[in-house]
A and B are shown apart, each in its own frame.
Chain A
Amino acid sequence: MGDIRVELYELTAHELGNLIRRRKISVIELTKSLLDRISNTDCILGSYISVCEEEAIERAKQIQLKIDSGGDCPPLAGIPMALKDNICTRGIRTTCASKMLADFVPPYNATVVEKMYSQGTILLGKLNMDEFGMGSTTENSFFKKTRNPWDTERVPGGSSGGPAAAVAGGEAIFALGSDTGGSIRQPAAFCGIVGMKPTYGAVSRFGLVAFASSLEQIGPLTKDVTDCALVLNAITGYDRMDSTSVDIKHPDYTKALVNDVKGMKIGIPKEYIDRGINNEVKKAILNAAEVFKKLGAECEEFSLPLTEYMVPVYYLISSAEASSNLARYDGIRYGYRAEKYSGLSDLYIKSRSEGFGAEVKRRIILGTYALSADYYDFFYKKALQLRTLIYDSFSRTFEKYDLIMGPTSPATAYKINEKTDNPLEMYLADIYTVPANLAGLPGIAVPCGFDSNGLPIGLQLTGKPFDESTLLRAAYTFEQNTEYHRIRPKVDR
């Protein structure tokens, strides 16, 4: 115990927003608090690939000036945040944690970055991840391993491990990550924070370096559900630069922050809790169901068919798309180029062999194989057909339930190097998160307990397309009636 003084970096965006608007704190002071925190703890956590110290302070001054002059003050104005390093930032290198793009500086901003800037948020830097988003531990980064703030011998999850560790460790008030198969929700669960993957098409993908285009969305990693709603308000919306973004009017998501789930129908897929799940995780999920029941929701188990196909279908489709999306990194125009080569073919082979890490190469090979003429019908086409069936089975499920509830991951955070030799086992652990990506559904992970090692457990809620409001309402109610989100890790030096 001892020091009970609350540091600014420990607060949430909505708390800090209040303090800023009431002139209790200055944006500069807040930004410096975060930068100090980063310089104190990031040598342990390794969340950041790039820290934009000078730009952040400069920007903090500008925003404070704006606030002082009585200008418009959006809810996130002055809040220091950070971005996963696959979200393009003009003039700031965007590496995807790959040797291939180690020196790549985009001449454009992602649409979400423009939106963040227009909100007046302060960009602290770019966060570590599994190379190109491929992985669940952030061990597949070319630069460094990121450590879990709850236990620095453990991984923060992935691929948005940097964002999750930074937010949980107090190195950013919130972060934006990307979720292709669970890459926001699983690290959020591992690090005891809130992470949401919005409905496919809710947030523009323009400027998100593509891994698997038909599956991924950018989403928030925050300390609580209120912050999640605030960030969601800021990033959702149609973008004419992204044809797959959907032109609908999004509600004010903070309106969904209502402490009431009475009459809400929540389904728990039997297949999610029957086997292959850590007992402590299972207990926490069933306990969460009891919480919801006590608050007046109807919770029941049901059978979600096709669960066994989710992971294979996901890996075929995501790898197929990745094999094509990553083909542009050929050493010709930008990015890594091998130093010695003879001829065009050799330039391609050497640059790509040296520029990509093992996991990326594994997926490219898998995806190329799945799309090749001889195997297309057997792999890729089958996977597409199954994807349609999966989509349909969710549609039917949502005729009956408002939400689906389950674990985010079958286990809590792994030890560093624990799983690196067994990619297949790691793939299988994505079973609870990939369905939302395959069906384009919104999903949220919220803290729902701790295991006997003191590691956080994440509850996952999945909703109907564009029904983030129901998701937020249930998550908010759960949060208001539990204390898990208040417990913060202590990062030891």
Chain B
Amino acid sequence: MFSYLGVVIRMKYEIIIGLEIHAELSTKSKIFCSCTTEFGGEANTHCCPICLGMPGTLPVLNRKVVEYAVKAGLAMNCKIEEFSKLDRKNYFYPDLPKAYQISQYNLPICRDGYVDIDTGSGRKRIGITRIHIEEDAGKLIHDDESMSSFIDYNRCGVPLIEIVTEPDLRSSEEAKAFLESIKAILQYTGVSDCKMQEGSLRADVNLSIRPVGQKEFGVRTEMKNLNSFRSVVRAIEWEAQRQIEVIESGGSVIQETRRWDDNTGMSYSMRSKEEANDYRYFPEPDLVPVIIDGKWIEEIKKSLPELPDVRKKRYMSDYGLPEYDAWILTRSKALSDFFETAVSKSKNVKAVSNWIMGDLLRILKEKEMEVEDIPFPAEYLARLVDLIDNGTISSTIGKAVFQKMFATGKEPEVIVKEEGMEVISDETELNHIVRKIIMNNPQSVADYKNGKQKAFGFLVGQAMKETKGKGNPKIINKLLKDLLG
């Protein structure tokens, strides 16, 4: 599909993307009752008559949910509405026990914000149309064997915010960068833990294409419930290509909702605009309007932590880190916090940063671990850097110690001691080894004496090998030079 010709054709078009992001809030209890929001748990054990929508029960809005939405809004530069209300979105589905979702229709809590993202061609401002609060639904589990469906209402009533963007994104890369920024902001503010595998962050993609230079938007399609950044990227690529092919072959794009299938890597038509649900929104009569006074907004503003972008700039100015490093380190709050703790215990910022950017991220990726799963505290990394800096171990040995720290969670000093990894600085011992190397490599000795500097390096390497990397390279250098005259 992505032939050279395809690329050329593709360049004739501009892709217009808007996202609707659903994030589960990390409140302890649900949005309208006191049930726990904890993930997992036996099916239908985190429910009560209220979140099950039983006859006569009434919702009561959890104040924390409003606070978190305001927090997210402020962090995304939104205007906070002092008056907003909740509405019912009516539709039948077994995972929705009241047959309506309590959401916000025309008066959301936050509107008109923006988030800046870093793209290949510099910074770009992405508009946030609105952020509103709503409740999550339950989960349907289909069992092919018994040909029946089961329902788990544990997620029912878990609070969500929906973040709606302006159609400002122009590529899958931008969409990914934006999602990463949103994720970072939500994690920093503690509004959501954004655990994708638990479905606490999901996105709908609205996409249309238009010939480069055209002002009007094309007809858009909507792809629902993408639950990983990777599927968002794939879905955008696939859908953009599909729309281009439709237009190039003389057809026209139909306004419709499409379902993205991550297994086949394709999207399928779900329903057209004509078949679209009429949600019959109307004001929720069981709840009073949400009033947020200026004083409360100020209090929440004061409670906001340092946000990722600000932190990134600080890393660049205070630690002299390159922009890319500062960006990587601040994308995840957990990683950034790890870095900060390590740095606070170390004098060598650059080394700490290099360890995290290199070995740490690589090992996390290899082991498919999260930062939270690192088995040792950040302080140990600072101590490892110290051991290398004060010459107790070589940097090569340092890598081995680091691996061991991941495997055992032990302190670096303990590992070094237990494994006998200290640098050998004893001149008598090293003298013995260096003499042995000179004896065993007459050719290299001759080469060196004939002025080949390379041969000297080889001899140092051999001596290091003999010491299993533990020899103090400075002393080995000195001894070699002395012995070879």
Name A residues whose Cβ lies closer than 8 Å to a Cβ of B: 86-88, 94, 96, 101, 104, 106-108, 110, 205-210, 212-214, 240-244, 320-321, 323-324, 327-328, 330, 332-334, 344, 348, 368, 371-373, 376, 380
Which residues of chain A are within 8 angstroms of B285 by Cβ–Cβ distance?
212-214, 244, 321
Scan residues 49-66 of chain B and give those whose CB is less than 8 A from a CB of chain A: 49, 52-61
- Interface residue B141 (Cβ < 8 Å from any Cβ of A): no
Contact status B60-A240, CB under 8 Å = yes
Q: How far is the CA of A74 from the CA of B54 in the complex (A)?
A: 32
Name B residues whose Cβ lies closer than 8 Å to a Cβ of A: 49, 52-61, 88, 90, 92, 94, 97-100, 151, 278, 280-282, 285-288
Contact partner of A241 (CB less than 8 A), chosen from B58, B92, B278, B288, is B58
Which residues of chain A are within 8 angstroms of B281 by Cβ–Cβ distance?
371
- Given the known inter-chain contacts A327-B90, A328-B99, please indicate yes or no for A243 contacting B59, CB distance below 8 A: yes
Contact status A243-B56, CB under 8 Å = no
- A102: min CB distance to chain B, Å: 13
Which residues of chain A are within 8 angstroms of B278 by Cβ–Cβ distance?
372-373
- Given the known inter-chain contacts A94-B55, A324-B280, please indicate yes or no for A243 contacting B92, CB distance below 8 A: no
Contact partner of A330 (CB less than 8 A), chosen from B56, B88, B99, is B99
Which residues of chain B are within 8 angstroms of A332 by Cβ–Cβ distance?
94, 97, 151
- Given the known inter-chain contacts A94-B55, A243-B287, A324-B100, please indicate yes or no for A330 contacting B282, CB distance below 8 A: no
Q: How far is the CA of A241 from the CA of B151 in the complex (A)?
A: 26
Contact partner of A104 (CB less than 8 A), chosen from B55, B94, B286, B287, is B55
- Given the known inter-chain contacts A371-B280, A371-B282, A372-B280, please indicate yes or no for A333 contacting B52, CB distance below 8 A: yes
Which residues of chain A are within 8 angstroms of B60 by Cβ–Cβ distance?
240-243
Task: Count CB-based A-B contacts (< 8 Å).
Answer: 96
- B22: min CB distance to chain A, Å: 23
Contact partner of A327 (CB less than 8 A), chosen from B56, B61, B98, B282, is B98
Residue contacts A-B, CB under 8 angstroms, 28 given: A86-B56, A94-B55, A94-B56, A106-B49, A106-B56, A107-B49, A110-B56, A206-B57, A207-B56, A213-B285, A240-B60, A242-B60, A243-B59, A243-B288, A244-B287, A323-B90, A327-B90, A327-B98, A328-B53, A330-B99, A333-B52, A334-B54, A368-B280, A371-B90, A371-B280, A371-B282, A372-B278, A373-B280
Interface of chain A, main secondary structure = loop
Known: A108-B57, A330-B92. 8 other contacts (CB 8 A): A88-B55, A94-B56, A108-B54, A320-B282, A323-B280, A327-B92, A328-B55, A380-B282
Contact status B288-A324, CB under 8 Å = no
Contact status A327-B59, CB under 8 Å = no
Which residues of chain B are within 8 angstroms of A368 by Cβ–Cβ distance?
280
Q: How far is the CA of A205 from the CA of B278 in the complex (A)?
A: 29
Contact status B286-A213, CB under 8 Å = yes
Which residues of chain B are within 8 angstroms of A376 by Cβ–Cβ distance?
280
Contact status A205-B58, CB under 8 Å = yes
Contact status A243-B61, CB under 8 Å = yes
Contact partner of A210 (CB less than 8 A), chosen from B56, B92, B288, is B56
Q: How far is the CA of A376 from the CA of B60 in the complex (A)?
A: 27
Contact status A208-B56, CB under 8 Å = yes
Contact status A244-B282, CB under 8 Å = no
Which residues of chain B are within 8 angstroms of A86 by Cβ–Cβ distance?
56
Which residues of chain A are within 8 angstroms of B287 by Cβ–Cβ distance?
243-244
Contact status B97-A333, CB under 8 Å = yes
Which residues of chain A are within 8 angstroms of B54 by Cβ–Cβ distance?
106-108, 334
Q: How far is the CA of A380 from the CA of B83 in the complex (A)?
A: 22
Q: How far is the CA of A213 from the CA of B57 in the complex (A)?
A: 11
- A99: min CB distance to chain B, Å: 14
- A324: min CB distance to chain B, Å: 5
- B58: min CB distance to chain A, Å: 5
Q: How far is the CA of A330 from the CA of B53 in the complex (A)?
A: 12
